[in-house]
Amino acid sequence: MNYTVLSAIACAFGFGLAASGAHASTSDLDAAKALVAEHSVLPDFVPPGAPFDAHACMAGKKILTMPVSSANPFTKNIAIAMTQVAKQIGFEVKEWENQARPTQWVQGMEYAINNKFDAVDLLGGVNPAVLGPQIAEAKKAGIKVFTSHLYDTIQTPDPSVSLSMRVPYHEVGALLASWVTMKTGGHVNAVIVGSDEIIPTAPFVKGITDTLAKICGPDCKFKYINAPVPEWSTKIQSGVQSALIADPTINYVIPIYDSMSQFVVPALTITGRKGKVKIATFNGTPFVIDMIQKGDVEMDVGESLGWIARSILDGYMRDMCGLKTYTTLYVPFYIFDKSNANNAGTPADYDRGYGDKHVSGYNKLWELK
C-alpha cells in the first residue's frame, strides 16, 4: 500500500452504480470454470533461477524490511517470515515496525543509513515516491532500495529503486471475476471495495471489470466503493451497508484486499444479508481463512506468505550477489474455500495449506545443507 492518490478508478467508475462495460452477449461459464480450476490445485515449485550458495554470498549482509504497516497482518507476517528464513540462510533481516505513517518510513530509512544496512525492502505498499530524498541518501551510502509486493506487473516501478518484485494483480482480478461469474451463472451484481491510493488498485480492479465484460453476461453489474486505508474501519462497513440497503439484489462483495473482509461481515449481518451475499477476496491472510472456516467468507485467493518471503529474498539475494535476477514475484495463486480451508490449520497459519514444495525447493536452490 502507499499514499499516492490514484484517480483512474474514480474517473472510470464514478461514485455510484457502474455498468461493467461492453458485455459479451452471453456469459462464458466454461472460461470462468477453467480459470478457477487452474488455481484450485496445489501449486508446484519451479525454480525461478539457477542454484547458488546463498549462505556464502550473503554472509555478513543485512536487510531492513519496512512493511507498509506492522498492524497489517498480511505484511507483518511476510516480514516475520523473511526474518526467519534469513536466519536459516545465515544473514540478518530486521523489520522496521511502523503504523503506516510516512514520517515513520522516513525514520526507517534514516535508521538503515545510520546502521549501515546493505539494503532496504519497501514491503507491501511503502511508496518510494514519498521517500525520494531518503532513497537518494541511501544510494549515496551504498544501500540498495527495493520494493516488493507493490506494483502490478503491467506498471512501471519508480526509477529510484534498484529492483521491484512485482505481482500480476490484474490476473487476480480476472480470477475473482471468474469465480463470481461461475457461482452466479453469469448473473453478477457485485460491490467491489478498493483503496484508490494503493498503487496496484487500478489495474487490480480493471482486471475484475474487464473480465466481467469479457465473460459475464449482459445482466452483470457492479458498484465500486473507494475506502482509503486509514478509513477502512469506518467507510467499508457503512459503504457496503448503504449499497445493500439500496439494492437488495446484490449477491457478492469483492473486497480486493482480504483484510477488508472484517469490515464487510458486520454490514452483511446488520442488513440481514449474511449467508445470502457472498464474499470473494484476495491475499490468503490467516484470519480471513479462519473466516472461511466459520462460513463468513466464501473464498480467498491465497498466496503463501512463506512462499512470498522466500521469493522476495531470492530475488534480492541474486541482485545483491551480482547474479541475474527477476522482477515478477514468484508466488502461485491458490483458491481457498470451504473444501480446503481447514488444510491451512485451525487457526490458519500463514504458510500452511499450500503444500511444502516451496520450502524444500528453495532450500535446494540456495544450496542449504
Q: How do residues 317-352 score in pLDDT, each as one tens digit?
A: 999 999 999 999 999 999 999 999 999 999 998 889
Cα 311 from chain centroid? 14
Q: What angle do CA 73, 76, 77 make, to 5 degrees?
A: 85
Say if residues 29 and 182 touch (Cβ distance below 8 Å): yes
Residues counted in the chain? 369
| DSSP state letter for 67 | E
The pLDDT tens digits for 166-192 are: 999 999 999 999 999 999 999 999 999
Q: Helix or strand or coil: residue 228?
A: coil
CATH number of this structure's domain 8-42+169-302: 3.40.50.2300
| pLDDT value of position 24 | 57
Say if residues 14 and 141 touch (Cβ distance below 8 Å): no
Among 14-28, 134-148, 217-231, 328-342, the minimum mean pLDDT is found in 14-28
Each domain of the chain, given as residue ranges in start order, spans: 8-42+169-302, 54-168+304-341+349-365
Tell me the CA distances in angstroms from 256 to 121, 193, 253, one per residue in order: 24, 6, 9
Cell of 162: 534498484
Residues sharing a CB contact under 8 Å with residue 261, sequence separation 6 or more, in sequence order: 255, 279, 281, 288, 291, 296, 297
User: pLDDT-derived band of residue 217, with 50, 70 and 90 as boundaries?
Assistant: confident
Task: For the full predicted model, state whether its pTM sits above 0.85.
Answer: yes
- Give the Cα separation of 248 and 103 in Å (integer): 43
The pLDDT tens digits for 262-271 are: 999 999 999 9
| pLDDT value of position 229 | 83
CATH superfamily label, 54-168+304-341+349-365: Response regulator (3.40.50.2300)
Is pLDDT of 119 > 90? yes
Residues sharing a CB contact under 8 Å with residue 183, sequence separation 6 or more, in sequence order: 252, 278, 298
Asked, colleague to colleague, whether 8-42+169-302 and 54-168+304-341+349-365 share their fold, the answer is: yes
